[in-house]
Amino acid sequence: MSGRSTGFFWHERCFWHDLGPIGVFAASGEFLQPQPASESPESKRRLKNLLEVSGLIDELEVRKAPPASREDLARFHTGPYLDRLEDGDRKRGGNAGECAPYTPGSLAAAKHSTGLAIAAVEAVATGELGNAYALCRPPGHHAEAGRGRGFCLLGNIPVAVMRARAKQQVRRVAILDWDVHHGNGQQSAFYDDPDVLTVSIHQAGSYPLESGGFDERGEGLGDGANLNLPLPPGSGIGAYRYAMEELILPAIERFAPELVVVACGYDACAKDPLGRMLLNSSAFADMTAQIQALAERVCHGRLVMIHEGGYSEGYVPLCGHAVIQTLAGSPIAVPDPQNDEIAAWAYQALQPHQRDLIHHWREEWLA
């Protein structure tokens, strides 16, 4: 296929990761009736199934990928942390850090998840594919160098970007994280790096509690290369559109990356049990179109979407299909029965306090 085709990277192994019966909590407890974890395989498997049923998958370059190697993982993660994961995997599993439980077999899934991100970034960075979507699980944007956090065991995006840069496939990279939770993993990985711009638009004061403020701008040579937009809970379509147009897109364009990577979480959707934002599937498609148009202007369309959070098993597939349809420029759509109703909810329009906050950030950042 031509270099302008859209890649779709997935592997069944990723769906086999099991966090244990923790529900929405970090761990089980005496008075917590066991239930499947919120970070379950179902939303991802349903997305792949929807691509199959709609026929959109037939317009994609579908690929598997090998698991990430220890060498690749060690570009971001510490040796003791990787040793601890391997030891736990040989025994009964455990918790990789903070709210990152795993069971035997999870590490194999996590390595395959990171491997998908690596392969997608490499294929786009080298021009083999025009753009790509990696259906990664477990997610990775909360994982830090020495611990897992927030359902994330390995840093899928940091590992993939560090590998591509080490192999001189790309130098300047912009990472946009629109998961409802702060992208602390990318921030920590590149906080002092002037050649990687990390941007996170997320629900303020959610997870992790101690990170994600606008005042976190990077340090050392990376000062000014980290941008956080902590939107108030209840922000909807109007607030996200205004933030994209007024600050996120101008900041990325000014940075002039050679590759754009999106940490593509869907937990800012109105149906998510762990988020308090109001987006519908069309909003995710619109943001994809915006970042895709920017990528066409500044880096020959080199854009990679890495699947992150999103815990509505029924609604995530509709959001993901809309994103991938947009990414591929395909006419194949599926109806979203909730799209118009969500858009009609009160407070979807840009609210004055949201406008003032974004305007303040814009004045500070672009000054």
Catalytic residues: 142
DSSP bridge partners of 264: 307
Tell how strand 131-134 and strand 6-9 pair up: parallel
- Strand ranges across the sheet with 61-63: 61-63, 6-9, 131-134, 303-307, 259-264, 173-177, 196-203, 226-231
What are 6's strand-pairing partners? 131
CA 344, 346, 351: angle at the middle one, nearest 5? Answer: 115
Strands (E), the chain: 6-9, 61-63, 94-95, 97-98, 101-102, 131-134, 148-149, 173-177, 196-203, 226-231, 259-264, 303-307
What DSSP element (H or E) covers 342?
helix 339-343
Q: What is the DSSP letter of 128?
A: S
User: Virtual CA dihedral for 40, 343, 296, 119, nearest 10 degrees?
Assistant: 0
3-state SS class at 192: coil
Q: What is the DSSP string of 284-312?
A: HHHHHHHHHHHHHHHHTT-EEEEE-----
**Among candidate residues 174, 183, 193, 180, the one with its CA nearest the CA of residue 156:** 183
Give, as one character, the DSSP assignment of residue 246: I
